[in-house]
Amino acid sequence: MCILIVKDSNKVISNDILVASAHINQHGLGVLWLDNWRVTYHDSNDYVVLDTDRPFIAHFRFATIGKISRENCHPFNINDDEILFQNGTVHNLGNKDKTDTQHMAELLKDIPKDRWCEVLEMTECRFVTANLKERTYELYNEYDWIEHDGINYSKENVLNQTLVAVYGTLKKGYSNYHHHLSTAKYVGPGETLDKYPLIIDGLPYLLNKQGVGNYVEVDLFLVDNDTFKMLDQLESHPTWYYRERINIDTKDGTVMSAFVYFNDTVDDTGVHHKTYTQEVSGHSYYDDEVVFHDSCSCIEPIVTRDTYLDELYCDACYLTVHTHQDEINPNDLDVTYESIKI
């Protein structure tokens, strides 16, 4: 785990990459600033310090060896002038208190510098050494680094993540969450930084009218490229819902830029909601002795037969409603176009 970022230019890293780096690696942040060659240490959630054109080398930690503490955040001193960053694990080094990186730094202190490359590249880890006095640095196992937009990353898992804010059936625990976002990285709750009108007409619709309505409650997720494409398909982007970036205010006061799906096809009724809620149930619904699986989580689901597709769906949220397999055949139900409230 962990991620090393080497940025020696005035380019600014995207919000999505910084959020992904922090939320995947939550155990501390160490930064060497390349404009003054000073080291600072932070909580991972303080990633906003890297939203800058200042050059730096940064390490977000995910603890594998050694306890979670500020003392175990990278970089570590090799000697009075030189420091070491590492991404990867050297399994025969370190213990429950000391990281393998600190142990490696202690070993390098007693090894001639012209042999550091030989020693460090015996592993599959990515390393950076920096000389604070001479103001130089060096990358090791350089062919394993990922160059993206002129910036070096020690791994690519933070590069294919996009921050999405959801306000309807995709919210954590809700009906579409289980189908589409249960494996995504949950960042946390938030609300729109600006007011927007949230209309609920069976489904929730967020209108793109900034300054009107309420600060709408959302859930934030980091999604990979495949999940992002799937969400576009689910929302019929851009023909029905369409996505745009807006600012989201998180519970800790951090402002994040995230995609949200708007829909301007419905009329503004003037009834603006702050949040959309579903009753998340763990039981099934019953109509006489027919058991319906709770793929729909509406408080009052309305089961309807779609005779064209030959399937049952909830007329309140449009999700397909399945009967328990091997218990009943939907074709045996005496349902046509009428809705049955259960």
Provide the pLDDT for residue 192. 97
The tally of CA atoms less than 13 A away on the side-chain side of residue 64 is 17
For residue 33, give the nearest of 69, 62, 75, 72 by alpha carbon.
Answer: 75
Q: Output the pTM of the full model.
A: 0.71
| Domain positions in the chain | 3-153, 161-262, 285-341
Fold of 161-262: Hypothetical upf0131 protein ytfp (3.10.490)
- Mind listing the pLDDT tens digit of every residue in the chain (342 residues)? 799 999 999 999 999 999 999 999 999 999 999 999 999 999 999 999 999 999 999 999 998 888 899 999 999 999 999 999 999 998 889 888 889 999 999 999 999 999 999 999 999 999 999 999 999 999 999 999 999 999 999 999 899 899 999 999 999 988 899 889 988 999 999 999 999 999 999 899 999 999 999 999 999 999 999 999 999 999 999 999 999 999 999 987 788 899 999 999 999 999 999 999 986 544 333 333 333 444 455 545 556 555 444 556 555 555 555 544 433 344 443 333 333 333
CATH architecture under which domain 3-153 falls: 4-Layer Sandwich (3.60)
Q: Do domains 3-153 and 161-262 have the same CATH topology?
A: no
Catalytic residue among 106, 134, 235, 279: 235
The answer to whether 235 is a known catalytic residue is yes
Provide the pLDDT for residue 279. 67
At residue 16, the 3 state secondary structure works out as helix
At residue 90, the 3 state secondary structure works out as coil
CB neighbour list of residue 164: distance below 8 Å, 6 or more residues apart: 220, 221, 222, 223, 228, 231, 258, 259, 260
